Amino acid sequence: MMQPWKLTAAAAADAIAAGNLTSEALVRACLDRIAEREAAVQAWAWLDPDAAIAEARRRDAEAPRGPLHGVPVGIKDMIDTGDMPTEYNSPLYPGHRPARDAACVSILRSAGLVVLGKVATVEFASLGRTAPTRNPLDPGHTPGGSSSGSGAAVGAGMAPLALGTQTGGSVIRPASFCGVFGMKPSYGLIGTEGIKVYAQSLDTIGYMARSAEDLSRLSLVLGVVEEMPEPAALPALRIGVCRTPHRAEAAPETHDAIERAAGRLADAGAAIEAVADPPAFDGLTEAQDRIMHWEGRGAYRAEYLAQPAILHPAFRDEVENAKGRTIPQINEAYDRMAIARIEFATAFAGYDAWLTPAVIGEAPAGLESTGEALFNRMWTALHGPCITIPAHRGPNGLPVGVQIVSPRLSDAGLLAVAEAISPVLATR
């Protein structure tokens, strides 16, 4: 068997179930990997190795509870944990200890997973301070955000799984930048109880992993799907290529990633067709941005009133509506998103997935910015599932993912497509 920290979550769970590996050995291997890489990557906001080992021992003493029993997972520091601090990377919440686990964390523990620790986030998963986290493949580049630690921890081999959240592109972008698989499920399928919400009509819990099967298993655990999807038959797939209204903004490596992915899938027998953007896609990214910041006004109002001097200026501007967004603009944005969901579902009929860019290009240099969510915002607004697959590398040798999408509540079908096409596309 390869070193345990290198295993996919599915392979590790199977080895634990077969008695060929213990949860404790897997957790210790991950902790050793963290000790080796954390100084350079800085993916973690909180670790308690003794607690993680003790939890792993409890899992080893139990009968398997689910398809990922005994597998460690990192939890984004926007998601409450009753036995660890949740600080949101904010000076307003030093040492904050929630009373209980968030609902999604409780589900993971009930299914037998081991919470390894808290992974770093951009402040409040939105504006303000970036995380200190670095891209595990090149520390001079960003890992993406806001789920910075989630992508970096999985990309560095520190954990086979990590939870994140997405309001714009906070799961898909860091997964792409760090060369791992990522999924944003359909909006509303995973409860957000116990999460510091930014935009209530957009925020979605997502996750990062090392394989499409890992995403499927975690989707089953979290209730996104009711049974494990069977990989689709690749030659029977009909896949649309959607370059979006932002195609001109994509870097050459992103164009190359889409072209090569489409070519490989066609060579494998899939039917590949270019698709036109539905009319409501024009202005959809701008609509998402308006709604995100409008709803952010309410998200941080309590902090604004209680500690305005400590609150980052970006959040003060949010609450004060510094950009002067008007009620008619907001209503138009809500309506555009609703219309676009209908148009997308109509245009998608007959397809199994649409292939589309995940990012503008490879991870930018520096840590001042986590990159732009230009190729993510519209899909988040559409409320459907999105999956990114590590499929290409850019001019600096850094990963460039491709994204597959489908209309809301079609998660099982999209996972089946991801499992079918990832052996053809995936590269590290």
Instruction: Single out the catalytic residue among 76, 118, 184, 196.
Output: 76
Please classify residue 324 by burial: count the beta carbons closer than 10 Å to its beta carbon, then call 0-12 exposed, 13-18 middle and 19+ buried. Answer: exposed
Q: How many CA atoms lie within 13 A of 305 on its CB side?
A: 6
Task: Please give the radius of gyration of the chain, using alpha carbons only, rounded to the nearest integer.
Answer: 20
229 in a structural domain: no
CATH number of residue 40's parent domain: 3.90.1300.10
State the pLDDT at residue 127: 82
Instruction: Single out the catalytic residue among 126, 170, 211, 219.
Output: 170
**Is 173 found in the same domain as 40?**
yes
230 in a structural domain: no
Q: Which helix (H) or strand (E) holds 393?
A: strand 386-393
State the pLDDT at residue 260: 97
Q: Where do the H-state alpha helices sit in 124-171? A: 148-155
**Is 86 found in the same domain as 180?**
yes
226 in a structural domain: no
Q: Which residues of 158-167 are buried (b: 16+ CB within 10 A; e: fewer)?
A: bbbbbbbbbb
Total number of domains in the chain:
3
**Is 177 found in the same domain as 59?**
yes
Q: Which residues contact 189 (CB under 8 A, 6 or more apart)?
A: 222, 223, 224, 409, 411
Is-catalytic flag, 369? Answer: no
Is-catalytic flag, 323? Answer: no
How far apart, in whole angstroms, are the C-alpha atoms of residue 66 and residue 217? Answer: 9
pTM assigned to the model: 0.97
**Is 164 found in the same domain as 311?**
no
How far apart, in whole angstroms, are the C-alpha atoms of residue 371 and residue 145? Answer: 8
271 in a structural domain: yes
**Is 153 found in the same domain as 212?**
yes
Domain residue limits at 159? 4-221
312 in a structural domain: yes
109 in a structural domain: yes
**Is 380 found in the same domain as 240?**
yes
CATH number of residue 344's parent domain: 3.40.190
State the pLDDT at residue 183: 99
**Is 116 found in the same domain as 252?**
no
CB-based contact 49:57 (threshold 8 Å): no
Instruction: Single out the catalytic residue among 146, 148, 176, 211.
Output: 146
* Tens digits of pLDDT across the chain (428 residues): 689 999 999 999 999 999 999 999 999 999 999 999 999 999 999 999 999 999 999 999 999 999 999 999 999 999 999 999 999 999 999 999 999 999 999 999 999 999 999 999 999 998 888 999 999 999 999 999 999 999 999 999 999 999 999 999 999 999 999 999 999 999 999 999 999 999 999 999 999 999 999 999 999 999 999 999 999 999 999 999 999 999 999 999 999 999 999 999 999 999 999 999 999 999 999 999 999 999 999 999 999 999 998 998 988 998 998 888 999 999 999 999 999 999 999 999 999 999 999 999 999 999 999 999 999 999 999 999 999 999 999 999 999 999 999 999 999 999 999 999 999 997 65
State the pLDDT at residue 168: 97
Q: Which residues contact 223 (CB under 8 A, 6 or more apart)?
A: 107, 189, 190
Pairing of strands 238-241, 353-357: parallel
**Is 141 found in the same domain as 60?**
yes
State the pLDDT at residue 1: 64
Single residue among 177, 198, 221 that ends a domain in this structure: 221
227 in a structural domain: no
- Tracing tokens 């915002």 back to the chain, one arrives at 377
Single residue among 221, 250, 267 that ends a domain in this structure: 221
Nearest partner of 258 among 271, 245, 272, judged by Cα: 272
**Is 174 found in the same domain as 322?**
no
**Is 295 found in the same domain as 168?**
no
Q: List the strands of the sheet with 386-393, edge to edge.
A: 44-47, 114-119, 72-76, 161-166, 204-209, 181-184, 386-393, 399-405, 353-357, 238-241, 271-274
How far apart, in whole angstroms, are the C-alpha atoms of residue 294 and residue 78? Answer: 20
CA 405 vs CA 6, 121, 296, 317, 343: distances in Å: 28, 25, 26, 33, 14
228 in a structural domain: no
How far apart, in whole angstroms, are the C-alpha atoms of residue 26 and residue 13? Answer: 10
**Is 90 found in the same domain as 140?**
yes
- DSSP state letters, 216-232: HHHHHHTTSSSSPPPPP
**Is 292 found in the same domain as 269?**
no
Is-catalytic flag, 23? Answer: no
